Amino acid sequence: MNQLPEVIRNIERVSAEVVQQAATFQAAILADVAGRRGTMHARVAPVHARMKLAGPAFTVEVRPGDNLMIHAAIALAQPGDILVIDGKGDQTAALMGTLMLSACKQRKLGGVVVDGAIRDKLELLELDFPVFSAGFNPAGPTKFVPGRLNHPITAGGATVNPGDLVVGDADGVVVIERAKAPAMMALATKKVADEAARLDAIGRGDTAAKWLPAALRAAGVLAEGEAL
pLDDT tier, 63 (very low <50, low <70, confident <90, very high otherwise): very high
pLDDT attached to residue 225: 87
Handedness of CA 22, 177, 189, 216 (dihedral sign): negative
Q: Are 47 and 121 in contact (CB under 8 A)?
A: yes
pLDDT attached to residue 227: 87
At 30-56, the pLDDT tens digits run 999 999 999 999 999 999 999 999 999
Domain assignment of residue 81, yes or no: yes
Domain assignment of residue 41, yes or no: yes
Counting residues of the chain whose pLDDT is more than 90, the rounded percentage is: 96
- What CATH number should be reported for the domain holding residue 42? 3.50.30.40
Identify the domain containing residue 158 by its residue range. 16-185
Q: Are 111 and 129 in contact (CB under 8 A)?
A: yes
pLDDT attached to residue 94: 98
What stretch of H or E contains 224?
none
At 196-209, the pLDDT tens digits run 999 999 999 999 99
The count of domains in the chain is: 1
Mean pLDDT computed over 115-132: 97
Domain assignment of residue 206, yes or no: no
169 HSE (CA, 13 A, CB side) = 12
The Cα–Cα gap between 217 and 223 comes to 6
Domain assignment of residue 141, yes or no: yes
Domain assignment of residue 224, yes or no: no
pLDDT attached to residue 1: 45
The pTM is what? 0.94
Domain assignment of residue 120, yes or no: yes
Domain assignment of residue 39, yes or no: yes
Q: Is the pLDDT of residue 104 over 80?
A: yes
Counted residue by residue, the chain has a size of 228
Domain assignment of residue 157, yes or no: yes
